[in-house]
Structure 1
C-alpha cells in the first residue's frame, strides 16, 4: 500500500529510533519524517533509520513549517504543551499519538477531541511504556471472574536514562506530581507523603523502595476491569539482571487478586521484562499502535475517536512480538 510518511516529532531520540527499528522489522518500506528543531541532527537520525528524511519543525506555525507536505500520522516524543501537533493532525485528519504527558495534562487534549470528535483518531499514549503494562495486565485478568486488586510496580534501572528528552520529561512529572492518583475501595484518591511510600518485590525477589506514581494506567485498568483497588508504584534502582552482573533491564511487576472464573480466590504475580531497557519496549508499543492506526496490519485504519493504547493493541500479537525482541511476560512466584 502507498503511504505518506509518518511524522516523528522529537524523532532523533532513543525511543523514536527504537520505534523506527520496530516498524522496519515488519514494514521496511514505511517512509518516515524525522522532525526536530535542529535539521542536521534530524538528518543524521534519518540517515540511520533509512527511508527517512529530516525536517525542521516550527511549533509556532499552523503547518508546523511543513507547508503542503503530506503525512499519514503524527507521533510526539516530548511534551507538546501547545498541542501544536494535535491541531496539525486534526486539521489533516491523520492519527495523533503523544506519549510524554502526565495524567494531569490530559484536559487540553480531551477538549480538542470533544470539539472535533470526527477529525482524527487520538491516542492518549501516557500509559507506562505506552501499553506494555495495560495490555499485559488485561491479558492476565482473563483468568479472573472478578478483580479486586491490581498493583503495578515499575522498576527503572538507574543506568536506563533513555536520553535527555526522557530525563527532562521525568523531571517535569516528578515536579508536577507530588501525589499519586490511586483507586481505593472504589474511590479515586491522591496518595502523598507517607501514604505514597511503599515497597514491591523485583523479579529476583529483592524488596525495592518505591513511591506512588500518577499513571493513567490506573484509570484505564479500573475502567476496563471494574477493580475497586488499583495503584501504580515506581522505583529507580538496580534492576534484577544487573544484580546478577548482567546488563540492565526494565521490569514491570503486575500483581492481581480476586476470584477465578469459578469463584475461588486467585492471586497472581507476573512481570513484563525487556532485557534492553525502557526505550525499546516503548518503541515496540508505539510501532504497533501505528500499525493499527494506519491499517498496516491489513485491517481497516482506525476510525476517529479517543483511545487508550490497550484499546488498539491485540494482546496475543503484542506478546508474540515482545518475545521475538527478547522480552517476555513472565509468571512469578507469590
Structure 2
C-alpha cells in the first residue's frame, strides 16, 4: 500500500519517538514527517527513526508551512490549544489523533467536529496510555453480564520519565483541574480533598498512595458498560518490578464488581503490566490506532466520525501485540474486606 507520509507533530519527543518505533516495527516502509518548531531537532529525530523527514512547522499558516506536501494522517503529541493540527487535518480530510488534552479541554475539538463531521475521523486519544486501560478493561468485562463498580489504579514508576513535554502536560493538567471526574451511584461528580485520596495495592501487594485523576477513561467506560460507579486513580512511586530488582515497569490495576452471565456475583482484579514503561505502551496504542485509521491492517480505512481509541482497537489483536512486547495480563486475588 502506497501512502503519503504520516505527520507526527511533536514527534521528536519521547512519546512521539516511541510511537514511531512501534509503527516502524510492523510497517518498516511507511513514510513519516517529524514536525516541530525547531528544524534541527526535528531532522535529528527523523534521522534516528529512519525513513523519516524532519520539517519545520509554521503554526500561523493554514498549511502549517508544508505547502503542497500531502499527508495521510496527523498525530499530535502535545497539547494543541489552538487546534492548529485539527484544522489542518480537517482541511486535508485526513485522520486526526491527539493524545494530550485533559477531559475538561475537549469541548473545542468536539465543536470543530460537529461543524464538519464528514471531513475525516477524529480520535479523542486522551485515555490513559491512549487506550491501554480501556481496551484491557472492556476485554475483561466480557465475563460480566452487569457491572456495578469499575476501579482503575494506575502506577507510574518515578523513574519512568516521558520527557519534558509530558512533564509540562501533567503540570498543566494538575493546575487546571485538581478535582477528579468520577461516576458514583449513576451521577458524575468531582472528587476533591480527602475524597480523592486513596490507597491501592500494587502488583506485589505493596500499598501505594494515589489521588483521583480526571481521565476520560471514566466517561468512556461508564458509557460502554453502563456501570454506575467508575473511578480512576493515579499513583507514582517504585513499581513492583523495580522492588524485585528488575527494571521499572508500568502497572494498571483493574477491579470490577458485578454479575456474570448466569446472574452470579462476580468480583475480579487484574493487572496490565508493561516492562518498558508508559511511553512504550503509549507508542503501541498510537501505532495500532494509525494502523486502523489508515487501513494498514488490510481492512477498509476508518470512516469519518468521532472516536474513543477503544472503539477502533480490536482487543485480541492489541493484547497479542502487547504480550509480544513482554506485557502481561495477570489475574490477581481479590482483597476481601
TM above 0.5, yes or no, is: yes
> How far, CA to CA, are the matches of 2:212 and 2:316 in structure 1?
29
| TM superposition shift of 1:266 | 0.4
**Normalised TM-score (structure 2):** 0.98
Counterpart in the other structure of 1:282: 282
> How far, CA to CA, are the matches of 2:73 and 2:328 in structure 1?
29
The reply on whether 1:118 has 2:85 as its aligned counterpart is no
Deviations 1:216-256 (A, max 9, x none): 00000000000000000000111111111211110000001
| TM superposition shift of 1:279 | 0.3
> Which blocks of at least 5 consecutive residues in structure 1 are unaligned?
none
| TM superposition shift of 1:309 | 0.2
The reply on whether 1:187 has 2:197 as its aligned counterpart is no
Partner of 1:15, secondary structure, is: helix
Deviations 1:9-28 (A, max 9, x none): 00111111111111111111
Counterpart in the other structure of 1:106: 106
> How far, CA to CA, are the matches of 2:57 and 2:252 in structure 1?
34
Deviations 1:97-128 (A, max 9, x none): 00000000000000000000001100000000
> How far, CA to CA, are the matches of 1:13 and 1:330 in structure 2?
31
Partner of 2:145, secondary structure, is: strand
Partner of 1:126, secondary structure, is: coil
> How far, CA to CA, are the matches of 2:330 and 2:293 in structure 1?
28
| TM superposition shift of 1:58 | 1.3
> How far, CA to CA, are the matches of 2:312 and 2:332 in structure 1?
27
The reply on whether 1:209 has 2:172 as its aligned counterpart is no
Structure 2 counterparts to residues 146-161 of structure 1, below 5 A: 146-161=146-161
C-alpha RMSD of the superposition = 0.6
> How far, CA to CA, are the matches of 2:332 and 2:28 in structure 1?
36
> How far, CA to CA, are the matches of 1:307 and 1:329 in structure 2?
25
Deviations 1:17-46 (A, max 9, x none): 111111111111100000011111111111
Partner of 2:42, secondary structure, is: helix
Partner of 1:271, secondary structure, is: strand
Partner of 1:204, secondary structure, is: coil
Counterpart in the other structure of 2:138: 138
> How far, CA to CA, are the matches of 1:329 and 1:38 in structure 2?
40
Partner of 2:267, secondary structure, is: strand
| TM superposition shift of 1:274 | 0.6
Deviations 1:278-319 (A, max 9, x none): 000000000000000000000000000000000000000000
> How far, CA to CA, are the matches of 2:57 and 2:269 in structure 1?
44
| TM superposition shift of 1:77 | 0.1
| TM superposition shift of 1:199 | 1.0
Partner of 2:282, secondary structure, is: helix
Structure 2 counterparts to residues 248-267 of structure 1, below 5 A: 248-267=248-267
Counterpart in the other structure of 1:178: 178
Structure 2 counterparts to residues 223-302 of structure 1, below 5 A: 223-302=223-302
The reply on whether 1:169 has 2:162 as its aligned counterpart is no
> How far, CA to CA, are the matches of 1:178 and 1:16 in structure 2?
27
> How far, CA to CA, are the matches of 2:285 and 2:85 in structure 1?
20
